[in-house]
Each structure stands twice: as structure tokens, then as C-alpha cells.
Structure 1
Amino acid sequence: MGNHSTMNEWNDIAVIAPVSDIDIATVPRLREQLDTLIAGGVRRVLVNCQNVAFIDSTGLAFLLSRARMLLAREGLLSLVNTSPQVTRFLQIARLLDILHVSASEKPPIPVLAPNTPPLWSKTFVIREGVENLGSYRHRVAELLGTLPLSRDDCFDTALAVGEALSNAYDHACGGVGSSMTIAAYADRVVVDVRDCGCGFEIAPDEEPPESRERGRGIRLMRMLVDSVEVRRRTDAPGTRVRLIKLIG
């Protein structure tokens, strides 16, 4: 593989996965990939650091410059699946407030007390037709903007919801019979997307097959929010996707 990285694009989002460290040897190739994406109109880039054990000063300068470039275009660059060592290095360099970083080991989701009511909840019946996807994503972003979430967390959660809705359109006859519920609590926001397809289920620690369109969406959702649960519905045929984003 050498110093090359893998790259995927879907729903106006790009994921770059370096196969080794981000340093003076690998930055030229990464710069070429990222600049091509930005020139092509991509505004949301995730750098999957699963195989990155070290980022040198050349790598940091590159990531910072492109993060600022995307920010100026109302976009966002994130580092996801960073190791504890890389996260600690970025913390020491005081760059966590500039680079949007998500560690590979996420804290467990606290259990809600039984019968805890949400602060508020909204339910939407999804209209048929994938052309409606953008309007739902914008509506989710508006609702999240009323919560004490950072701009980046709002952005990511709305994109994760968009992926869940895309699955509903793809696997349930254009979204017919699908619904979405957003519930806000003191420490989290919970989004349930239900479709009426044939039903699909995957364990939290199970890797989705690479060849499946739904599998790529699940990987992306896991990068963007704190918890992703994909289960067959018990109340009707279909799938329920539950996304949780912690507040604070």
C-alpha cells in the first residue's frame, strides 16, 4: 500500500483513511487528495486515524491549514478514531479546540433513569421521495441548534441523521411509512429513525460488510455520534436506527 490512503465519498461527505502516520512523507499525497476534494465542492471531510500512530509538525500544519480553509467555506474537517496517544499529543499542542477530534475509544453512554421524560420531543412522518432528505436534515440542524451543543456536534449529528434517513429511503420504498423522532434530555439528544423495509440488525461491536451501501452509512454514523443502534423493529416490519449524541 505504501503511503497511499483510502478514500470514500457519499452524501457530500468524504472520508480519508491514511494507512500510516501523517508526516512529512505522507502529507504530499494527502494534500493532493484533500485539495482535489475541496476544489470539487466537498465541504465535510473526516480523516479516519485508525492507522495513525503519529502526526509530526508537517502533518499538523497541513491539517490546520485545510481545517481553516474548510471553515472559511462553512465546512468542517474532523479527525476520527484517534488513538489515546495522538489525542494526548493534540491536547498538549493545544489543538483540540481548533481541530475537531473524536477518539477511537468513546466513553460508555450513561443509562437514563427509568421513565425519565424528555425535555421535548418532535416526531416527523417522512414524506415519500428522496428529494425531501435535505429539508429534514436542515430541520434537524435547527432543532439541535436550540440545545447546548457545539456547532461541530450539531453539524455531525445532523449528518448522522441524514445517513439514517438515507437508509430509510434506500431500503423502504423511497421512505414510505418511515418516521423520525428527536428527543432532547438534559445530557443527550436521541434520534430514532424507523422504516418499513425488510428489517436489518447489527450488533454494536460488529463491523458491517464493506460491500453494502448500508454498511458504509453505519460506519459513518459511528464516527459522527456517540452511539448507534441498528435493530429490527418489534412493533412492525422494518428497521429502527437509534442515534445518541451526548451534551457537554
Structure 2
Amino acid sequence: MNEWNDIAVISPARDIDISTVATLREQIDTLVEQGVRRVMVNCLNVGFIDSSGLACLLSRARRLHAKGGLLSLVNTSPGVTRSIQIARLIDALHVTAAVRPPVPLLKPGAMPLWSKSVSVREGVENLGYYRHRVVDMISALPMSASDRFDTALAAGEALSNAYDHADGAAGCTMMVIAYPDRVVIEVRDRGRGYQIAADEEPDETEERGRGIRLMRMLVDSVEVMRRRDARGTLVRLIKLLAPAEEA
């Protein structure tokens, strides 16, 4: 995908079925016509997706794919995930379950394949450069193109927080660490310091809160904590390269 700002999140208020599919189709089509190339359907309030809903999602996913984009379903319940599996559409629709298995601890003595540290330039105009830099750094890892995009977008959200809340990212650093089963990205800033528990819902009226919600949709683990080594915030993102049982 060439554009990094053309992303939209749609949150249906109820099930995706014959009674709601026309509205969803219109929403997606309008976004695509406006140039959006990444549509995320947040299924937090969706208990069921019937055949008409699956047909709509599949057709719009294909339309976006033809334009170099991607449609994703995030926060799907076990039942919704199962229905998509039964319909054999789990590969056609990029699905992220609401309840994910916990990220396994690194095995004792596990050593990184490589690690790279990047000093972040001041100025929010540099943000796009670092998203593409992350894609380049993880390009050789066993990840799909959509997973690389998600990882880079999440890293961009972490950096965006630094730009917003740490004097334009002055003194900010980004570390990318590759292990056999995961990639870890750590963004350290020198702002006032912020922390949120893994099970805590951020205030959606805050820009930082919306960024945390999006990061949680994109990667397998998000930690936001005050730094212990200096003043500021540490954001740690983990994207698994393989299912936990294979790690």
C-alpha cells in the first residue's frame, strides 16, 4: 500500500446481517471512493454475521484488494470467527479475534536474530519515513504483507504519541528487535511519562487513547509504561511471526 494516512475504522452497532448490510456496504463504498485503502471493521458489538453480511464483506475485500488495499475484521468473537472459518473465508478476510491467546514469554536464553536502533528526528513531517523504515527492516521476516503493514502502522501510532506529547519527539528512539517467533518494537520518548494497564480501556476522547486502541487492533501485545531509566514513556509492541503453539 502506498498511502499511510488512508485508513478508516467502522464500528457496526449490531450484527452484520440482511437488515444492516446495506448501510455497511454504503459506508465501505463511500470510504473507497474517498481514497481510503485500509478499512477495519471493528466487530466488538457484532454477535453474528449472516450469509448476506459475509457476501458483502467478501466483495468489498476483493474490491479493496484490486486497488492495493485491505479490509480487516478486528475484535471478532469466537462465534463470529468460527462462522467465518466454516464458510472457508478465514484466509480471504483478514480476521483478528477479540480474545487472543496471551503472548508467550520468550524461551530462557532466547537470543534475538538482530536488533536495530533508530534515533527519531524531530518534526512530525518525518513520521511517514519511519513507518516505511519499519517495513524495510522487517521485510525479510516470515510475515504477510498485511502483517508488515499492521506492524509499521502500530509503530507509527507509538511514534505519533511521542511527537504529540514529547516536544516533537526530541530525544526519542525506536528499537526494532527480531526473534525467531516475534518482532518487538520499543519506542522511548522523553515526555512527562504515561502508563496504562493492559486491561484498561483508554479514554476515547483523548487522541492518545484512540492511538492505543488502534495499536491493540494491529499487534499482539501493547505495553505503555513510564520509563524506569529516564523521564518519559516506553511503548512496547509485539507482533508474533507464528501461532503461539508453534513458537
Counterpart check, 1:43 vs 2:37:
yes
Structure 1: how far apart are the matches of 2:67 and 2:124?
Answer: 26
Equivalent-residue separation in structure 2 for 1:91 and 1:143 (angstroms): 32
Matched, 1:231 2:205: no
TM-score normalised by the chain length of structure 1:
0.94
- How far apart are the structure 1 equivalents of 2:68 and 2:149? 11
Aligned equivalent of 2:133, options 121, 136, 139 = 139
Among 88, 97, 103, the residue aligned to 1:109: 103
Q: Which amino acid aligns with 1:108?
A: P
C-alpha RMSD of matched pairs (Å)? 1.2
Distance 2:229 2:102 in 1: 27
Q: Measure how far apart 1:12 and its partner are.
A: 2.9
Question: Deviations along 1:188-213, whole A, 9 cap, x unmatched?
Answer: 00000011111100000000001110
Task: Tell me how far apart the structure 1 counterparts of residues 181 and 75 of structure 2 sit (CA, whole Å).
Answer: 23
Q: Does 1:94 align with 2:100?
A: no
Deviates more, 1:222-231 or 1:58-67: 58-67
Q: Is residue 56 from structure 1 mapped to residue 67 from structure 2 by the alignment?
A: no
TM-score normalised by structure 2 residue count? 0.94
Q: Which of these residues, 193, 197, 203, is aligned with residue 203 of structure 1?
A: 197
Q: What pairs with 1:58-77 in structure 2 (closer than 5 Å)?
A: 58-77=52-71
In the TM superposition, what are the counterparts of 1:172-183 in structure 2 within 5 Å?
172-183=166-177
Q: Is the aligned partner of 1:162 residue 2:156? A: yes
Q: Percent identity?
A: 69
How far did residue 37 of structure 1 move? Answer: 1.0
Task: Determine the C-alpha separation between the residues in 2 that align with 1:72 and 1:129.
Answer: 34
User: By how many angstroms is 1:115 displaced?
Assistant: 4.6
Q: Aligned pair 1:187/2:156, yes or no? A: no
Number of the residue aligned with 2:211: 217
User: What corresponds to 2:15 in structure 1?
Assistant: 21
Letter matched to residue 48 of structure 2? F
For residues 106 and 160 of structure 1, the distance between their equivalents in structure 2, rounded to whole angstroms, comes to 17
Distance 1:85 1:77 in 2: 20
How far apart, CA to CA, are the structure 1 residues paired with 2:34 and 2:13? 23
**Counterpart of 2:7 in structure 1: which amino acid?**
I
> Structure 2: which 5+ residue stretches go unaligned?
243-247
Q: Which moved further from structure 2: 198-207 or 58-67?
A: 58-67
Shift of 1:11: 4.0
Structure 1 residues without counterparts, runs of 5 or longer: 1-9
Q: Secondary structure at the match of 2:11?
A: strand
SS in 2 for 1:50: coil
Deviations 1:16-70 (A, max 9, x none): 0101110111011111211111111111111010111111111111101111111
The more displaced of 64-73 and 92-101 is 64-73
1:119-151 CA deviation, whole Å, 9 max, x = no partner? 001110000111111111001011222100111
The 2-side partners of 1:106 and 1:57 are apart by: 25
